[in-house]
Structure 1
Amino acid sequence: MMRHAALYLRASLTKSVILLRRYWFNTVSQLVVTYVMFLLLVFGGRSIAPSVIQESLGGIIVGYFLWSTAVSSYRTPSSSLIGEARQGTLEQLSLSPLGIGRVVLLKTVASLLVSVSLSMVILLSLLAITGENLSLDFVAIVPILLLSILSILGVGFALGGLALLYKRISSALQIVQYLMIGLVAAPVESNPALKLLPLSLGSKLLRDVMTRGVGLFEIPTVDFALLVATGVFYFGAGYLALYWFKERARDRGAMGHY
């Protein structure tokens, strides 16, 4: 089983890289849209409140970096299942040795690796454009980023389960995408209860690391433990939700329909 999983992960990662290269125009377009959205956010904000934007520019860059990474990652479970349903291969996928859950998980891991790599390139480009000086302590950034994304992946798995039942859930995906802006910007300092939500605590810790130069081992133990706990909880709950929706879709005979 582990050998099959390793081979499938390698194949998925290779496929993702090949698709990025083959459809280079689409890849470049996505990067350009990401830059343009950020520039509109920053320069539009400067025209309204220049001093506020300038003072919080570092935090805006960090938040946008986390949000763009999360958006590109959490859509993978649902988009892969919708793609399988369109091709009529969803039932065959459920009969594979790995099963639907593991296949979607491995596809998501491959997509996450590619997304994080592209997001790092975007981050460096944003720093070059704005001239902002942030701390790039990747020893701290990478684990916090991955644990933050882990929680939102759980939401992605739950939405993937919904896709098995209802097939078209693009509106729900867009709603969650914009809700994530609020999660990234959540004021966890003034309202600690918000730390329990996906992305919120991770966004705060990333800002501490990148704007204040806080090291990995300087992060409060309670906060880091809570980041791990929330990531594991939401991911596990979303993964279980995917299996629950899969069983409901199978009972309704909806696995092979789109």
Structure 2
Amino acid sequence: MEWIKSNLNLFKANFRKETIELRRYLPNTIAMLLTVYIIFMAMFAGIHSVGAPGTVDATIQNTIVNYIFWYLTITIVNGQGYEILTEATRGTFEQLGMSPSGIWRILSARLLAQGILTAAMMIVLLYLSMLTTGQSLNVDFVTIIPIFLLTCISMFGLSFIIAGLTVIVKQIQAFLQIFQFVLAALTFVSLSRAPFLVFFPITKGVDMIRAVMVEGLTLNELGFSNFLVLTTNALVYFIIGLATYLYCERYAMKKGLLAHY
């Protein structure tokens, strides 16, 4: 009971921190959302200009889902890398290691808080995109939420891998910029075209969400086997990610790298 209470308090504190930063730097938050929306509208205009009339609606619907989840994935997966980089630049990262909670638990709380806030903003952008394009997607939250939560677990695993590398290397911005294109491939490419991507993180979840939102499939129609693959994928990548981070953290402590930038 005490363990649950301490983790809940840790989450509340970090959720409050994230919301305060979003409000305090409101112009940056608004600019971020506008940038995402403007880029999407440019993609929408391009599809309308060169797309085949018979398939343009399906293409736009898939693009809405893919783009929204690409941005969500970038924010969650790369977020911890930038978070550690910011803490190291400020000279406060080592202080996290002195906390009784431990660095990985603090990062987990921040990751969860960032995920919730980003998902809320993406829902707003999703409805705004549908309103702008005149496209109607099947937003079945009963079906989407369990798929989304399992997909986020694999995202968290990738985020911990990035966090582990950042603890040791520190300057990782160039890698994160390149990694955005890898994440784009995982979210935009359909499993029907590249079945081997089922072994990669994120891809299975996004593919299932596309099936729900574009094709209108329900929870029962997706079947148990799809959820089994998704759950296994999520747990494997989360375990690998957390183990990688903990190893990198121990290595950084042994070499005295936490205090260095």
Q: Same fold by TM (over 0.5)?
A: yes
For 2:31 and 2:219, locate their aligned partners in 1 and report how far apart those are by CA, in whole Å: 35
| Counterpart pick for 2:9 among 4, 7, 10 | 7
Partner residue in 2 for 1:43: 45
Say if 2:239 is the partner of 1:236: yes
Supply the distance in 1 between the matched residues of 2:197 and 2:119 (Cα, whole angstroms).
25
Mapped contact 1:42–1:53 kept (Cα < 8 A):
no
User: Within 5 Å, which residues of 2 pair with 1:183-194?
Assistant: 183-194=186-197
Identity %, equivalent residues: 29
Check if 1:114 corresponds to 2:117. yes
Please give the per-residue CA displacement for 1:156-189, whole angstroms capped at 9, x wherever unaligned: 1111111111111011111111111111122312
Match of 1:20 in 2: 22
Cα distance in structure 2, aligned partners of 1:136 and 1:124: 9
Contact 1:77/1:156, CA 8 A, preserved across alignment: yes
Could you tell me which residue of structure 1 aligns to residue 208 of structure 2? 205
Instruction: Output one character per residue of 1:15-74: Cα deviation in whole Å (capped at 9) or x when no partner.
Output: 212222221111110110011110111212322234344331111111111111111111
Structure 1 counterpart of 2:57, from 54, 61, 69: 54
Please name the residue that 1:76 is paired with. Answer: 79
**CA separation in 2, counterparts of 1:236 and 1:198?**
12
* Residues paired across the two proteins, number: 258
Which region of structure 1 is more displaced relative to structure 2, 126-135 or 143-152?
Answer: 143-152
Letter in 1 for 2:256: G
**Paired residue for 1:245?**
248
CA contact (8 A) 1:76 1:107 kept: no
| Structure 1 counterpart of 2:218 | 215
Q: CA deviation at 1:84?
A: 2.0
| Counterpart residue identity of residue 149, structure 1 | C
Q: Which residue of 2 aligns with 1:226?
A: 229
Within 5 Å, give how 1:76-225 maps onto structure 2.
76-225=79-228
Provide the aligned C-alpha RMSD in A.
1.5
Over residues 186-205 of structure 1, what are the superposed CA-to-partner deviations in whole Å (9 max), with x where a residue is unaligned? 23124432211112111110
* SS in structure 2 at match of 1:187: coil
In structure 2, C-alpha distance between the alignment counterparts of 1:187 and 1:135, rounded to whole Å? 18
TM-score by length of 2: 0.94
Q: Is the 8 A contact 1:66 1:145 kept in 2?
A: no
Q: Which runs of 5+ in 1 are unaligned?
A: none
- In the alignment, structure 2 segments of 5+ residues that lack a partner are none
CA drift of 1:75 comes to 2.0
Contact 2:47 2:60 in 1 (8 A): no
